[in-house]
Structure 1
């Protein structure tokens, strides 16, 4: 018994053409390439969800930077004088 399943998806024809070209270049089937792409997406989604939960936990314990401080820091990145990263250690008012 195989531990795989079959799924069906509609792709734009242009995407299918590109997928076939890539498969030919790497000597891989479309099925293999699609499985790899979905696997990568699922792995990234797991990481994203874990990061979101980590952020929620940090917010609940009061470890966050104020929005205006974070925005000013982000805008300064790549400039001649980037700001220091905002301090995440905050005490929330009870």
Structure 2
């Protein structure tokens, strides 16, 4: 079993009831489902922050493309795939 720690949170009673229904329906504990939800949320938010930081580093290093150049590149790719019918 992996090590764990306890975190106490406040939930709206309706959300707690929904979590309970989900736990019953999936045969998982409310604690398991809450931990899974928090992990998914934290991982997603950290990925967003890391993406922003990576983008800011690209801007600082001058690794950017103008909007017009990006759109021209996209149009060329669309034309290549569609045979110029777009």
TM superposition score normalised by structure 2: 0.69
Q: Runs of 5+ in structure 1 lacking a partner? A: 74-83, 86-94
- 4+ residue runs of structure 1 moved beyond 3 angstroms? none
Written as runs of structure 1 = structure 2, the 5 A alignment for 1:64-79 is 64-65=64-65, 69=67
Alignment of 1:1-94 (within 5 A): 3-65=3-65, 69=67, 84=74
- 5+ residue gaps, structure 2, are 76-86
CA shift for structure 1 position 65 = 4.8
Q: TM-score, normalised by structure 1?
A: 0.64
> How many residues are matched?
71
Q: Which has the higher contact order (CA 8 A, sep 6+)?
A: 1
